[in-house]
Structures are given as C-alpha cells and as structure tokens.
Amino acid sequence: MKDRERILLLRNQGIGDLILITPAIRAIRQLHPDAHLSIMVGDWSRSAIEQNPHLDEILSYPDPWIQQKQPIGYLKLVSRLFKKKFDVAYIFHSHPFIHLIPYLARVPRLYGFFDPELKKQGKLLNAKAEWSPNTDRYIADNYLDIPRLAGFSGADLSLDFHLSPEENQQADRLLEQQGLIPNQYFVVAPGGGVNPRQHVYEKRWGKNKFSELIRLLLSEFGLPIILTGSATETELGVEITQGSQGKVVDFIGIIPFRLSGALIAKSRFLVCNDSAVMHVAVAHQIPSLAIFGPSNPKSLLPISPRNQWISARLDCSPCYCNSIFNGCEHIRCMTELTPELVDRRIHMMMAESSQTERV
C-alpha cells in the first residue's frame, strides 16, 4: 500500500506573510485532500499558522539560518527535508536561495515564484508564477497563483487565523479580570514594522499621535482600550498610557501574539499600523483601520468597507512593498497624517458598522 503523498509548503519572514498565504494553504489542501501537508517556517512567524486545520505539521527553524545565510543551519534544513521524502513543494518565494533548499532535498516537483524585476528567473522550478508585490494587486491573490500552477481554479481570498478553544477561554478570562465585555472595547496596536529580515520603524505612526488618538476615542466613545504589542514595544505602552483619562489596559509585551489575536477577534474595532494584526482583523471580520505610510495598502489589504486604511496620500508614497526599505529623509507620509483625520475616519466606520448591525 502506497504511503500518503507528502506535500511541503515554504514561507519565511513576517507573521503577516504567513497569514496572507492561508487562502493558498486551503487551496493546496483542496488539491491534495489526502496528503500529508507540512509547512516550513521560521520560529518568528510560526504562531501565525498554529491551529490551522489544513496543515498536518509545522517545521520551524531559527530565522538566522535563512536571514543571515548561515551555512550549517541551511544544510540542516536541507537534511531535515531530505529525510521526509516530500513529493511536491509549493514555494512562496522568488529567491533562488530558498528554491535551492527543496531542490537539494530532492523534492521532485517544485512550484514557486520568479521575479523579473530582480532577475530571479526561477530556474530550479518545474512551474513558476510571477511575483508582483509592488503593484496594487492584493498579495493574497498573488500567493494563490502558486496552487493555480497545479490546477487550482478558485478565488476565495478570505484569510484564516484559527484559535483553539483554550486560547478563546484564556482571552475571556483576561477580559473578565479587567472588567471588559466582548465587542465593547477598542484594540490599539501602536507597534509593528519588525521582522527577521529588517526593522522598518518608519511604518509606525508614532507614540504621540497614538496618545492623542486614544484621548479622542476615550472622550468621544467612552469604550475601554486595550493596547497590544511585542516585548520590544513595551516603552510604547508606558508612554502612550501616561496621563490617559479613561480605561486603558496595556498588554504590550505581556501577552503573546496569538492571545492578542484572540482579543482582537472579540473586540469592537482595531486601530493599528501596517502590521500583522490587521490581517487578524480581516480573518475574523473585525472592523479595523490601518495607518499606512511608506508601504502600499492596496497590495496588503482587501477592498472592504470593514477593513480600511488611511494615509496622508503623498505623491512619494508608497515607496516600499515587500522589499528592502532604503530609508526616507522626511517620512512626511506619517508626520502629516493627524490624529483628527484618523479619528474622523473611525467615526464614519463605527457609524456604518452600527447601521449594518441594525439592518
């Protein structure tokens, strides 16, 4: 009797990148309903796809093995994959350095991206699709081009961020401890812009602007606010909450990403920078407003009245999307966007959300 077909998926870098390939994960499961599906990801982003029911196995590794091109770690990955005897690999990368891993692991069929702009032609691939992140096309749809190479014809771009019953219960306990009610609080995530490849702090709107926005939200809506973020962003929480008049619960650096996701899934509204949490809101259909500066919102968010973006709309923006950010002397795309403009958009979205609920 033949063993189950063994399928490998590869995607590293940011947490948001992993959430954006979840439509493609569903598609690959449809193509291989009885196969054993494994995904190879960096430790940094593993939390994005834990609990995903379409995956049988998560193979994670220390991110420096790839990001810093450490030869010993790289060869360990190749050896690990070779021993698993995969039949097919779906590679959500255009870089030949990534393509080479399953190629050396003797995976017989490779699907992946090529990038004509960077002259990465995908010579090791059996079939390839064009990687085009610097356009207005939603990246989740571009990711679907990989399973389309194998015959998938669907177009469902809904995102997945699955939570376990235990994670939901833990979130409920946290809310109860803080005296908060589901759907009756805002979540504000003032950080982001950090992943194993690079730190783009220019994607952050700034603590002073978030502080003023929180003051406006508390005075106008009266709903409590939860702050979320990573351990490297704790100073943001301390500075933002200083002098706030109203209920602000600072969980920055205290709870892990997945628990932050569970709190977002139970919230009334999310305000954030261009960061992974905006994809969690999309996955759970929670109203959200993402603040954009140098990056391209049209490539990173679906067209949706529920999940919107706001920017200063300067001629020089966007100047960065899924590539290495070369810096900016003025970052006016962030400094010229005022808290009052963001607050006004939130009011409009909350009013529209209330009308939809009444209907």
Q: For 123-157, how does the pLDDT look when each residue is reduced to its tens digit (9 = 90+)?
A: 999 999 999 888 899 999 999 999 999 999 999 99
Residue 49, SS3 per DSSP: coil
Structure confidence at residue 188 (pLDDT):
98
- The CA-atom distances, in angstroms, between 353 and each of 80, 280, 307, 357 are 49, 18, 11, 6
pLDDT, one tens digit per residue, over 54-75 is 999 999 999 999 988 999 999 9
Nearest in space to 36 (alpha carbons), one of 59, 15, 67, 60: 59
Strand partners, 89: 8, 110
Residue 213 pLDDT class (50, 70, 90 cuts): very high
Mean pLDDT, rounded, of the chain = 91
Contacts of 83 (CB under 8 A, 6+ apart): none
pLDDT digits 0-9 by tens, 214-266: 999 999 999 999 999 999 899 989 988 886 778 999 999 999 999 999 999 99
At 105 the pLDDT is 98
Q: Six-digit token pair at 75?
A: 């060869």
Give the chain's domains with CATH numbers.
6-149 (3.40.50.2000), 165-358 (3.40.50.2000)
pLDDT at 335 over 60: yes
pLDDT of residue 327: 66
Residue 359 is predicted with a pLDDT of 45
Contacts of 273 (CB under 8 A, 6+ apart): 189, 190, 191, 192, 193, 203, 204, 205, 290, 291, 292
- Section 27-37 average pLDDT: 98
Is pLDDT of 46 > 90?
A: yes
Exposure of 143 by Cβ count < 10 A (0-12 exposed, 13-18 middle, 19+ buried)? buried
Q: For residues 103 and 98, what is the distance between their CA atoms, to the nearest angstrom?
A: 9
pTM of the model: 0.94
Query: For residue 241, what pLDDT is reported?
Result: 87
Q: What are phi and psi of 111, to 5 degrees?
A: -110, 135
356: pLDDT confidence band, cut at 50, 70 and 90?
A: low
| DSSP code at position 120 | B
How many Å apart are CA 286 and CA 306, to the nearest integer?
7
- Is the confidence at residue 113, as pLDDT, over 60? yes
Does pLDDT of 337 surpass 60? yes
Residues 161-208 pLDDT 10s: 999 999 999 999 999 999 999 999 999 999 987 776 677 768 889 899
pLDDT on residue 1: 37
Spatial separation of the C-alpha atoms in residues 133 and 300, rounded to whole Å = 9
Give tens-digit pLDDT for 279-333: 999 999 999 999 998 889 999 999 999 999 999 876 667 766 656 656 667 778 7
